[in-house]
Amino acid sequence: MAKVTLEQFSALREWAATNQHRAPVYKGLRGEAVIPGMDDEVLAGVIAGLTIEDEINAQRLAPIRNIQQQLGNPPIGDADRMQSYARSLVTAICQFVRDEITESADAAKVAGWTDKAAVAERVIAGTASDADVEVVRLEATSRGLSETPEELAALQLQRASELRVARALIDGFESQAFRQVESAVTLPEVVQTYHDLVDQAGNLIEQVTSQ
């Protein structure tokens, strides 16, 4: 059995506990992981799976790690400062995700998308005025993609729907995250909340960017 890193060993112990293995996980003399009664090939497969899972989680949480680096190290030993840090992290994460879904567009451009969506809806429904159709036709022509006004309107409606869903997810996460931070009082509670928020934020980013 090959040697395992400290991270792999910790993940293996957590996996064993989660899966209710009664046999202890320990390191052999050569630094290899050992679970009494488990075949070496089976154990190697488990370790490989956990390693892949760790790599996926590292990719999933990469944006959050970048934000954490910008904020500095969390003050783990102080409940009040840790709580303040968690609030800043939530705010920064939500801003990051909002910038991602809008491609950092300014407020005027984002506001214009709402008007475009309303016009596009009328075009698709067949209730658009000549002026509505002309506006969409002008944009379609300017894009140079050989789109009809109806094709562009359909794309604009789809994009508007995706943005509405993303905003709902972000706003929901933000509201819940701040409640979690405020309800954590003791240092262990705040630290646990912080770790929970990091994982939840990873899920949020995954959900929003997969649309």
Checking if the pLDDT of 203 tops 70, the result is yes
Q: How far apart are CA 189 and CA 79, in angstroms?
A: 9
Q: What is the mean pLDDT of residues 64-70?
A: 87
**Residue ranges per structural domain of the chain:** 6-60, 74-209
pTM value > 0.75? no
Q: What is the mean pLDDT of residues 69-96?
A: 90
pLDDT cut 70: percent of the chain above it:
72
Do 82 and 75 meet the contact criterion of CB atoms below 8 Å apart?
Answer: yes
Do 96 and 62 meet the contact criterion of CB atoms below 8 Å apart?
Answer: no
